[in-house]
Amino acid sequence: MKIALVAPSCTLKQEAAELVAALAATRPDCELMIHPQCFLSDGHFAGSDEQRLGALREVMADESVDAIWFARGGYGSNRIAEAACAGLSPAAKRKTYLGYSDAGFLLAGLHKAGCEVAHGPMPQDILRDGGEAAVARSLDWLLTRDPRAVEPSLSYPAQAYNLTVLSSLLGTAVEPDLDGYELLIEEVSEHHYRIDRLMFHITGSANVRKVVELRVGNMSDIPDNDPVWGSDEEAIVRDWCSQAAINYGGRAIIGHDVANRVVPFGRKTS
Amino acid sequence: MKIALVAPSCTLKQEAAELVAALAATRPDCELMIHPQCFLSDGHFAGSDEQRLGALREVMADESVDAIWFARGGYGSNRIAEAACAGLSPAAKRKTYLGYSDAGFLLAGLHKAGCEVAHGPMPQDILRDGGEAAVARSLDWLLTRDPRAVEPSLSYPAQAYNLTVLSSLLGTAVEPDLDGYELLIEEVSEHHYRIDRLMFHITGSANVRKVVELRVGNMSDIPDNDPVWGSDEEAIVRDWCSQAAINYGGRAIIGHDVANRVVPFGRKTS
């Protein structure tokens, strides 16, 4: 299996690339192709929009590539998502795409366009304390569809997103169709009042209200609220689900951490 | 004219209330009624949802009140906006409503429900350096519709919002109809990458794409982007307008600052 790394958002750290390459080299039937675009830097991004889109399109069109693994998040994949997901070639459509966080803009668009996508750990996660296990989980899933890598409580066809990314997707050309799906969300580095506002926004959406259930993963590194918020993130999610008549399904093992499990996006059987 | 102050978001500072009361006392034909709910505190908010909604409904139903002036922003008016704007009484409909920032959730819902609303300085602004002039501008507009208080370049029926608030309104029950309006936006304390993501979101909306033009007010207190962003907020707004075929109309004199002018929301003449 040939796995291509590109960075549609921010620049991949060289150290992370080396560690992931070493890890992949221990796996049978695993060829890792780290596109040089991963190391470009242009202001906030891993190269200009044109460079990031160009590298992504290049690996999407490459008949020898089986899977595309987004190198890391940050910010910026939304700037190229609509263009990347338009007019997909057969070669692009038969690939698997894996990432999370900011890469959710691409997961949404590519799933909508008919591709196999999954929410899961990315190469840059190897720099976290204990991150090799997270990255190994993504490799396990890409190489053998190892069920131990997958979020253990999926009951329905699922989609998973960072909460801010999902909020930003609503109403755009790459908004996912959530009707009939189990929706998993996670968040990082947002204040409680921002989580509350984001939950107001997504649960106000007619599309989100059609999910069969919503589960919440880790919401990590929440900055101190001033004044103290007075409840926690699960209470916020539960409260907004209740107000919008959305089934709240409990916690999920996804998030910006090393426990992050893979969530393969499903397909509704209609 | 009787003007009622309520706080649908965060707690009004006592000092601000006293300064605004003293200012109002110098104006002929101006009775200021500061609802005691303004000083409640419940976690993040000026009282519980029930208390904030209750106070707002009370002054909305009060036949003797001519205008409702939202005391300050912060966060929280979205939590009561849909309920506050449902089933309006004739007394509520004939009032004028003034505020900005987080109060934009109410401006949107009340304008949609047929009320006269305006985006402009709020009582808590009097604590800014030079803030008395800002607050006086809102009083001038409420009391005499003084044209010198109004944003000077309005060419069409207009609506004005904080950018984050507008993004959070899209797709909800209180989403404004922007078709045929001039849209003014402003922002405070958001990183360049967040402004860029918010502009991606709002300009991806079919509703926002129907504005006759979009103008950008002050975007103040932008935290340092890491890495350096490389352009400025006007370039971001201009770029997304261009991609979405929205007419960019230049700068506007609104924002979280003492220059903030009043933007009376218009009505389309159809």
Q: Please answer yes or no on whether B171 and A44 come within 8 Å at the CB atom.
A: no
Contacts of A197 in chain B (CB under 8 A): 75, 78, 164, 168
Contacts of B167 in chain A (CB under 8 A): 167-168, 201
A14 has pLDDT over 90: yes
Can you tell me the distance from the alpha carbon of B257 to that of A22, in angstroms, rounded to the nearest whole number? 53
Determine the 3-state secondary structure of B112 from DSSP: helix
Q: Please answer yes or no on whether A227 and B78 come within 8 Å at the CB atom.
A: no
Taking the alpha carbons of A83, A266, A2, A20 in that order, is the dihedral positive or negative? positive
Mean pLDDT, chain B, rounded, equals: 97
Q: Please answer yes or no on whether B201 and A41 come within 8 Å at the CB atom.
A: no
CA angle B146, B84, B205 (to 5 degrees): 80
8-state DSSP, B228: -
Q: Which residue of A has its CA nearest to B74?
A: A193
Determine the 3-state secondary structure of B9 from DSSP: coil
pLDDT digits (tens, 9 = 90+) for B181-213: 999 999 999 999 999 999 999 999 999 999 999
Give the nearest partner residue to B227 out of A44, A167, A231, using CB atoms: A44
Q: Please answer yes or no on whether B201 and A171 come within 8 Å at the CB atom.
A: yes
B119 has pLDDT over 60: yes
Q: Please report the pLDDT score of residue B269 as a whole number.
A: 67
Mean pLDDT, chain A, rounded, equals: 97
- In 3D, which of A106, A49, A111, A102 has the Cα closest to residue A82? A106
Q: What is the ipTM of this complex?
A: 0.97
Contacts of B164 in chain A (CB under 8 A): 197
**Higher pLDDT among residues B66 and A270, named by residue:** B66
Contacts with B191 (C-beta within 8 Å, 6 or more apart), sequence order: B222, B223, B224, B225
B270 has pLDDT over 60: no
Q: Which two tokens stand for residue B229?
A: 């962003």
Distances (CA, A) of B245 to A76, A173, B141: 21, 15, 34
Size of interface A-B (CB pairs under 8 A): 83
8-state DSSP, B99: E
Q: Please answer yes or no on whether B44 and A75 come within 8 Å at the CB atom.
A: no
A132 has pLDDT over 60: yes
A2 has pLDDT over 90: yes
Q: Among B9, B41, B42, B44, which would you mutate to test the A interface (most chain A Cβ atoms within 10 Å of its Cβ)?
A: B44
Q: How far is residue B145 CA from its own chain's centroid?
A: 17
Please report the DSSP string for A85-105 in residue order: TSS--HHHHTSEEEE-GGGHH
Q: Work out the average pLDDT over A216-231.
A: 93
Give the nearest partner residue to A227 out of B44, B164, B206, using CB atoms: B44
Banded pLDDT at A72 (limits 50, 70, 90):
very high
Give me the phi and psi of B213, to 5 degrees please.
Answer: -160, 165
B225 has pLDDT over 90: no
Q: Please answer yes or no on whether B204 and A172 come within 8 Å at the CB atom.
A: yes
Banded pLDDT at A270 (limits 50, 70, 90):
low
B137 has pLDDT over 70: yes
Residues B42/B46/B50/B55 CA torsion (nearest 10 deg): 150
* CB B9, CB B47: distance < 8 Å: no
Q: Evaluate if pTM is beyond 0.90.
A: yes
Give the nearest partner residue to A197 out of B41, B78, B205, using CB atoms: B78
Q: Which two tokens stand for residue B142?
A: 């409420």
Q: Please report the pLDDT score of residue B232 as a whole number.
A: 95
Chain B residues with a Cβ under 8 Å from any Cβ in chain A: 41-44, 75-76, 78-79, 164, 167-168, 170-173, 192-193, 196-198, 200-201, 204-207, 225, 227-231
* CB B52, CB B80: distance < 8 Å: yes
Chain A residues with a Cβ under 8 Å from any Cβ in chain B: 41-44, 75-76, 78-79, 164, 167-168, 170-173, 192-193, 196-198, 200-201, 204-207, 225, 227-231
